[in-house]
Amino acid sequence: MKKNLTVLVVDDSPTQVAVLQDALEDRGYAVRTARNGVEAIGIVYQDPPHLVLSDIVMPELNGYHLCRLLKNDPATAKIPVILLTNLSEQHDRFWGQHAGADLYLEKSSPTDQIAAALEQILTRNPPVHAPAPVTTAAEHPPREVIQARVNTILDRLLYESTISNEILRLTSLAHDVPALAQELLKFLGAICRHDAAGLLLRHSREKQTLALGLNVPMPSGFALRAQEMMLAQAGLESDDGARTQLLIYPENPPLLPEPDGDLHIFHAVPIKDGDTLLALICLFNRTPRRPSEGIVQAMQWVAERFLIVARYLCKLTEIEEVKADFLSMLVHDLRSPLTSIRGFSDVLAQGMLGPLSDEQKSALHNIQGGSDRLLSLIEDILHLSKLEAGKMQIRSGPFQFADLAKATFQDLAALFLEKDLRMDFSACADLPTVMGDTQQLHRVLTNLLTNAAKFSPRGGRISIAAHLHAPGPGTTKALRVEITDEGPGIPKDQQKDLFGRYQQIRCDTPRARKGTGLGLAICKEIVHLHGGDIWVESPVDEKGGSRFCFTIPQPE
């Protein structure tokens, strides 16, 4: 059997080559020799051996480079490579292993040990036949051919490492899924041509994000059709769309007037951890096309590296769920005694346990105020934890927005009266019945109006407006709500993180009310669960002021 196996020995030392050649031929192997890596490449391409036994320190092309080139060329990747060297430092062994070598041995090892290691590798992976020649020339291929082949492999390695670095860089954005998705879609547009791309990210069974990036104008119904196609591609039910946060880039993409049109997934790459789907990348085109070999390979590299990012994102989600469960338990234990404190303070305030002096009433009023603030903070923490963990369901139903706004005004009447604020409400005359979760949207309005009142001057005006809005012709309509105040405005440097948790607007007004810093984060999560968006425009004019806007998509 050994006489049918060829070993290529590569070393610039004639003495070492002769020793290894004699030892291997005595054991029945056919031996070919090369003086350096470049010569070895020529032999491998013209008459591939069954195994390469190479020194590391050689002129022109060392053993590390030779091994890496052979392992990264699909035509020679399966040829076993053993590296021999006098280098004995730990980092030398590390580079030998990460160059792709099947085994790393010291040159001082006895020839019997080297031969035994070689035989063990060939026995473990017995070659059926030698790989097919890469070149068909009778003689060794010219140096120019070898150099061209090497350059091709080096270009491929550079391209692969560039993609790897760019994708792994996204790990720093794992805390900000919209930014992560936007950067990945932008990168996909840079490495391959397509009309649109989609990224489906699964945070948990209850929560997922679908981001779509458009490179050319698409039909107005593209987003919904793309969502259906990607959910089907991922093996998910159409009902999962209700638990999917939809992001579109750019935010106001150019859309074509026709609601329908041809749409094809010409390449899809699932990203799995074992049998679990963590993410799905799809490339869309309006006309049928087949992906080129380059696109397939590039997307495979993207998927392999993005798996690391997706795993990290899942781990963050698991941590957030543990934190949410812990917070739920903690605030539940806090709420019980606080409820008792608030209840007994009401009993005292009503004089049920005897009359109170003015000083006692004042102290009791402070106790009630502090208890109310703590209970409000606890409720906000509970609500946000459920929203972020995907445990809060939207129960959408028909309602009149004017009725919702009126109910919110009544709940906040005491706050507006305290600061002598004037409320203006305007809605388009033909605003029809809209769809949404009135309980959750009531919380959004309450938080936004409370913030507006907090930063408005005494005697100021707060306006709320509502109308149906369509980004472009043929696009899905959305309820757009705008709340405008006459406060000092919000500096640009504070607007970026405004909707994050525990974020407070830095205000120089000493009497400004303190809040929990959770209100706007809750608003963002509720609006996103409805499939809408929320943002701030500030200052409104040269006098200042802020305008908070949010949209709630409406079914046809």
- Backbone φ, ψ for residue 291 (5° rounding): -70, 140
Question: Which range (105-109, 324-328, 463-467, 523-527) has the least confidence?
Answer: 324-328
Instruction: Check residues 419 and 220 and name the one with the higher pLDDT.
Output: 419
CATH of the domain at 532: 3.30.565.10
Separation CA 188–CA 551 (nearest Å) = 29
pLDDT at 464: 92
Q: Does residue 98 sit in the same domain as residue 132?
A: yes
The answer to whether 92 and 123 are in contact (CB under 8 A) is no
Separation CA 45–CA 131 (nearest Å) = 9
Q: Domain for residue 147, yes or no?
A: no
Strands (E), 64-207: 81-85, 103-106, 196-202
Q: Does residue 506 sit in the same domain as residue 418?
A: yes
Instruction: Check residues 393 and 471 and name the one with the higher pLDDT.
Output: 393
pTM for the structure as a whole: 0.57
Q: Could you tell me how far CA 534 lies from the centroid of its own chain? A: 20
Q: Domain for residue 382, yes or no?
A: yes
pLDDT at 513: 47
Whether the pLDDT of residue 388 is over 60: the answer is: yes
For 127-169, write each residue's pLDDT tens digit.
755 666 665 554 556 667 666 767 777 777 777 788 888 888 8
Q: Does residue 9 sit in the same domain as residue 30?
A: yes
For 9-20, write each residue's pLDDT tens digit.
999 999 999 999
Q: Does residue 305 sit in the same domain as residue 256?
A: yes
Of 219, 187, 192, residue with least CA distance to 286: 219
Q: Does residue 126 sit in the same domain as residue 72?
A: yes
Q: Domain for residue 160, yes or no?
A: no
Q: Which of 365, 388, 411 corresponds to the end of one domain?
A: 388
> What CA–CA distances, in Å, run from 381 to 316, 384, 505?
19, 5, 19
CATH of the domain at 192: 3.30.450
Question: Which range (97-106, 125-134, 447-456) has the least confidence?
Answer: 125-134
Both structure tokens of 288: 């049928």
One-letter amino acid identity for 100?
G
For 337-378, write each residue's pLDDT tens digit.
888 888 888 888 888 888 888 888 888 888 888 888 787 777
**What is the rounded average pLDDT of the residues 38-62?**
87
One-letter amino acid identity for 223?
A
For 431-442, write each residue's pLDDT tens digit.
888 899 998 999
Q: Does residue 364 sit in the same domain as residue 419?
A: no
Q: Give the chain's domain count.
A: 4
- Say if residue 473 is preceded by a cis peptide, omega within 30 of 0: no
Instruction: Check residues 322 and 405 and name the one with the higher pLDDT.
Output: 405
Mean of the per-residue pLDDT values of the chain: 82
pLDDT at 528: 85
Question: Which range (69-83, 194-208, 243-257) has the least confidence?
Answer: 243-257
pLDDT at 454: 87
Separation CA 63–CA 9 (nearest Å) = 11
User: DSSP letter string over 28-77?
Assistant: T-EEEEESSHHHHHHHHHHS--SEEEEESS-SSS-HHHHHHHHHTSTTTT
Separation CA 157–CA 99 (nearest Å) = 12
- Say if residue 259 is preceded by a cis peptide, omega within 30 of 0: no
Q: Domain for residue 158, yes or no?
A: no
For 288-346, write each residue's pLDDT tens digit.
889 988 889 889 989 999 999 899 888 887 787 777 777 777 777 777 788 888 888 88
Q: Does residue 417 sit in the same domain as residue 514?
A: yes
Q: Does residue 309 sit in the same domain as residue 330?
A: no
Torsion region of 486: left, alpha or beta (phi above 0 gives left; psi -120 to 50 gives alpha): alpha
Alpha carbons within 13 angstroms on the beta-carbon side of residue 234 total 28
3 state DSSP class of 143:
helix
Sign of the alpha-carbon torsion through 371, 373, 377, 379: positive
3 state DSSP class of 427:
strand
Separation CA 271–CA 252 (nearest Å) = 29
3 state DSSP class of 520:
helix
- Backbone φ, ψ for residue 244 (5° rounding): -110, 125
Q: Which domain holds residue 103?
A: 2-140
One-letter amino acid identity for 540?
V
Q: Does residue 291 sit in the same domain as residue 197?
A: yes
Both structure tokens of 142: 């010219």
Of 541, 523, 532, residue with least CA distance to 485: 541
Whether the pLDDT of residue 227 is over 50: the answer is: yes
The answer to whether 240 and 203 are in contact (CB under 8 A) is no
pLDDT at 293: 85
CATH of the domain at 103: 3.40.50.2300
Q: Domain for residue 155, yes or no?
A: no
Alpha helices for 401-514 (secondary structure H): 401-411, 413-418, 438-455, 492-495
User: DSSP letter string over 281-324?
Assistant: EEEEESS-----HHHHHHHHHHHHHHHHHHHHHHHHHHHHHHHH
Q: Which of 89, 121, 140 corresponds to the end of one domain?
A: 140
Alpha helices for 350-430 (secondary structure H): 358-388, 401-411, 413-418
Sign of the alpha-carbon torsion through 93, 94, 95, 97: positive
For 512-539, write each residue's pLDDT tens digit.
445 567 888 889 888 988 888 899 988 8
Whether the pLDDT of residue 5 is over 70: the answer is: yes
pLDDT at 390: 63
Q: Which of 359, 388, 417 corresponds to the end of one domain?
A: 388
The percentage of residues in the chain with a pLDDT greater than 90, rounded to a whole number, is: 21
pLDDT at 511: 45
The answer to whether 388 and 525 are in contact (CB under 8 A) is yes
Q: Does residue 372 sit in the same domain as residue 510?
A: no
Question: Which range (123-132, 186-195, 257-266) has the least confidence?
Answer: 123-132
Whether the pLDDT of residue 428 is over 60: the answer is: yes
Of 517, 465, 463, 524, residue with least CA distance to 494: 517
**What is the rounded average pLDDT of the residues 205-230?**
85
Q: Does residue 441 sit in the same domain as residue 476?
A: yes
Torsion region of 100: left, alpha or beta (phi above 0 gives left; psi -120 to 50 gives alpha): left
Query: How many beta carbons lie within 10 A of that of residue 109, not counting itself?
Result: 12
Instruction: Check residues 224 and 97 and name the one with the higher pLDDT.
Output: 224
**What is the rounded average pLDDT of the residues 58-63?**
82
Q: Domain for residue 161, yes or no?
A: no
Query: Which H or E run contains 249?
Result: strand 244-249
Q: Domain for residue 200, yes or no?
A: yes
Query: How many beta carbons lie within 10 A of that of residue 159, not counting itself?
Result: 15
Q: Domain for residue 211, yes or no?
A: yes
> What CA–CA distances, in Å, run from 256 to 170, 213, 260?
32, 15, 9
The answer to whether 238 and 228 are in contact (CB under 8 A) is yes
